[in-house]
Amino acid sequence: MILLLAFAFVSGVITILSPCILPVLPIVLSGSLGKGRAKPFGVIAGFVASFTLFTLALSAIVQALGIPADAMRYVAVALIVVFGVVMLVPKLNGLFEIGAARIAAIGQGANKPKAGFRGVVSAGNTAGAATASGGSAPSGFWSGLLVGFSLGLIWTPCVGPIMASVISLSLTKRIDSGSVLITLAYTIGTSLPMLAVMFGGRTLLKRVPSLSRNAGGIQRGFGVLMIVLGITIGLGFDRSIQAAILTAFPSYGTGLTAIEQAAPVEAALKARGGAGKPATAAGRFSGAPDGIKDNGRLSDYGAAPDFVAAGPWFNTPGSAAGSAPPSPSPGLSLADLRGKVVLVDFWTYSCVNCVRTLPYLRAWYDAYKDKGLVIVGVHTPEFEFEKVSSNVSRAMGGLGVTWPVVQDNDYAQWNAYGNRYWPAHYFIDAKGRVRYVHFGEGGYEVSEGVIRALLKEAGKDPGGAVSRKAPEIDSRTPETYLGYERGRNLASSVAPKADQVVEYRPARVPGNGEWNLEGRWTIAGQYVVPESAGTLSLGFNAKDVFLVVEPEGKGGSIGVSVDGVPVGDGVDVRDGTVRPTESRLYHLVKLPASGSHVLTLVVSGKLRLFAFTFG
């Protein structure tokens, strides 16, 4: 924990150089204006409070209030604009100082304004007083507090891997004391350069007479700037500024989070994510150990967590396999399965890696279910549409999943196992203890050997083996996400804008793992979608290409070509076209061998495209 706190502090210090911070630096600099010596400290106090609160509790707050997550960002924008107007208009400036003075007086147990506010007598003469003095920016701790509060709200997305791990834990309601300490360490680190900027600005104003003489004009200039910045952030143009900076200077900021990717930090983050040391033989399993070997050797990692996912359950007694929507039926517990060998499979139906394991799971289930094997699928969604029960049920029917499955939309089961992967297999013996773990595809013969060994331990005769050798996957292109939350390698000549319809143009022919858009598209958090029609091109090096698609309505189609030639018929392609009718993974390309190619998709209709995977 000490290591993470130290790195979080250093990361906070260097965050001031991040490209996502540059658009809001003028707001920080505005803290140098005003005669109140405590104003910079007010900015810091407001920043620390709002950043910490909303980083740790934003998800819970918006759920409790039933408001969109962006609502708090708009609150911050409104505060910035209001503060800009106050700085710009002398009369409002005076009114604000009266309010700040009264708050300060209450805080100090007094009933009259202090010396810093004695020039303001009443709202009626503030305009003249402010004009005569050349204008004074709203000063003091309380005015700074408002600036800092709004700053913390719009600063929250600008974080690296350490703070991202805290945010991910907050989304799954796993906040602990460590999360609070890491957030505070990061925030305090960030506060130091902010203080330096504000006090540096004050020193400059004092030492340059021409600036001191024009303090009123500088104040009004910052007022206009804050109004412009507030509107810019409210309309999402700050993201365009960030994109323009990175387009002009592609390597800018790439090294700022490098220190957070050191091996000791990654190990500490994995431990915080629930994947630390294995439990002792007498303890409870809380995550697979680092460096686990895929050799089929049985160990004892502790008592398996019970099933805690909210459900619903499928294919259990009382539910019809593949029903849509699923019928409410009792779930399973490990106590119900005592004496059985249990394989817990974490999967999601649009994950091609998960789908490729299903034939082996099906073969094991058919061969060993009457000999004491129970497979329990835990469907933990990667995308929003995978949370819909009818979609899961329909996919199970199409994929031939006949064993029990529970929906884990809130990641409760995922967190109980400290899981980090799709697919992931946890092998539990007849006594309810985790004995073996396997992540990802492959190793099927070894995994079957584990099942057979555990059945023999339970006194069962497993009979003959059924696994066949898995085909080799020859792909040199990583999984490619298209939404702005996880997307990368967009080769566009037009700066991307989040959640807005933009006319995109390709910057070049995409290389391996790169993609571009042509036409009017919206890039959302998890997907891209054309306004009515558009083209997407992708460079890849693989034999098979898959795409997760969600139709918004009926009638959409995707023309598929590779290197300018329409692809042949396949599982999902007819006459070079895919016509998606449900939310799932579609098999677009099947080539005889891997190689470097360019995939072109001509999309018609409102189809959401989420992610490419390869084989």
Q: Which residues are CB-neighbours of 186 under 8 A, at least 6 positions away?
A: 8, 9, 11, 12, 15, 159, 162, 163
pLDDT of residue 373: 93
Between the alpha carbon of residue 45 and those of residues 141, 147, 192, the distances in Å are: 9, 10, 12
Report the C-alpha gap between 349 and 386 in whole angstroms.
7
φ, ψ (nearest 5 deg) of residue 107: -65, -25
Whether residue 499 is found in the same domain as residue 390: no
Report the C-alpha gap between 614 and 194 in whole angstroms. Answer: 45
- Partners of 424 in the beta sheet? 346, 439
Q: Write down the pLDDT at residue 374.
A: 94
- Residue 98 and residue 241 in one domain: yes
pLDDT score recorded for residue 128: 35
> Coil, strand or helix: which one is 128?
helix
Q: Are 11 and 188 in contact (CB under 8 A)?
A: no
Q: Is the Cβ–Cβ distance between 378 and 413 less than 8 Å?
A: yes
Beta-bridge partners for 426: 344, 437
**Residue 49: helix, strand or coil by DSSP?**
helix
Q: Which residues contact 18 (CB under 8 A, 6 or more apart)?
A: 158, 253, 256
Residues 484 and 569 in one domain: yes
Task: Give the model's pLDDT for residue 38.
Answer: 77
Residue 270 is assigned to a structural domain of this protein: no
Residue 181 is predicted with a pLDDT of: 80
Q: Alpha-carbon torsion 433, 435, 441, 446, what sign?
A: negative
Is the separation of the CB atoms in 87 and 223 below 8 Å?
Answer: yes
Is residue 39 in a domain?
A: yes
pLDDT of residue 577: 95
| Count of helix runs (H) and strand runs (E) in the chain | 17, 15
**Residue 28 forms part of a structural domain:** yes
> Are 30 and 122 members of one domain?
yes
Name the pTM for this structure.
0.49
Single out the residue in 457, 488, 511 at which a domain terminates.
457
Q: Output the DSSP codes for 546-614.
A: EEEEEESSSS-EEEEEETTEE----SS-BTTEE---SSEEEEEEEEEEEEEEEEEEEEESSEEEEEEEE
- 344 in any annotated domain: yes
Q: Which of 347, 342, 448 is nearest to 399 (CA)?
A: 347
Distance CA 559, CA 594 (A): 21
Per-10-residue mean pLDDT of the chain, 615 residues long, equals 72 63 64 69 82 68 59 71 77 65 53 37 34 44 74 57 49 61 79 80 76 72 78 66 50 49 57 44 60 77 89 77 51 89 92 82 90 93 82 84 91 86 90 90 87 90 71 74 85 89 92 92 92 94 91 92 93 93 90 92 94 87
Torsion of CA 174, 176, 182, 185, to 10 degrees: 140
Residue-number span of the structural domain to which 119 is assigned: 2-248
Identify the bridge partners of residue 546 per DSSP, sorted by sequence position. Answer: 587, 613
Place of tokens 């004496």: 339
Report the pLDDT value the prediction gives residue 325, as an integer from 0 to 100.
45
pLDDT, residue 110, reads: 43
DSSP for 58-115?
HHHHHHHHT--TTHHHHHHHHHHHHHHHHHH-HHHHHHHHHHHHHHHHHHTT-SS--G
CATH number, domain with residue 381: 3.40.30.10
For 56, residues 6+ apart whose C-beta sits below 8 A from its C-beta are: 166, 170, 175, 179, 180, 183
Q: Could you tell me if 420 and 555 lie in one domain?
A: no
Q: What is the dihedral of CA 427, 432, 435, 436, to 10 degrees?
A: 20
| Residues 289 and 302: beta-carbon distance below 8 Å | no
Within-domain flag for 434: yes
Task: Say whether both 550 and 424 belong to one domain.
Answer: no
Per the listing, tokens 């915080």 go with 272
- CA 269-70-88 angle, 5° bins: 115
Tell me if 474 is assigned to some domain.
Answer: no
> Would 557 be classed as within a structural domain?
yes
C-alpha dihedral, 286 to 289 to 295 to 298, nearest 10°: -40
DSSP state of 123: T
Q: Are residues 7 and 71 in the same domain?
A: yes
Same domain as 189, residue 53: yes
Same-domain pairing of 164 and 312: no
Q: How far apart are the first and last CA of the chain?
A: 39
Look up residue 168 and give its amino acid. Answer: S
Nearest alpha carbon to residue 54 among 187, 161, 242 = 187
In total, how many domains does the chain have? 3
Same domain, 289 and 369: yes
Same domain, 237 and 282: no
Task: Convert the pLDDT of each residue in 67-85 to its tens digit.
Answer: 555 566 677 778 778 877 8
| Domain CATH number, residue 490 | 2.60.120.260
Q: Name every residue whose Cβ is closer than 8 Å to that of residue 376 and which is 6 or more positions away in sequence.
A: 307, 332, 342, 343, 344, 345, 403, 404, 405, 406
Same-domain pairing of 175 and 223: yes
Q: Is residue 135 part of a domain?
A: yes
Among 202, 228, 248, the domain-final residue is 248
Report the alpha-carbon angle 511-514-519, nearest 5. Answer: 110
Domain boundary residue, one of 248, 268, 293: 248
Predicted local confidence at residue 24, as pLDDT: 63
Return the pLDDT at 240: 52
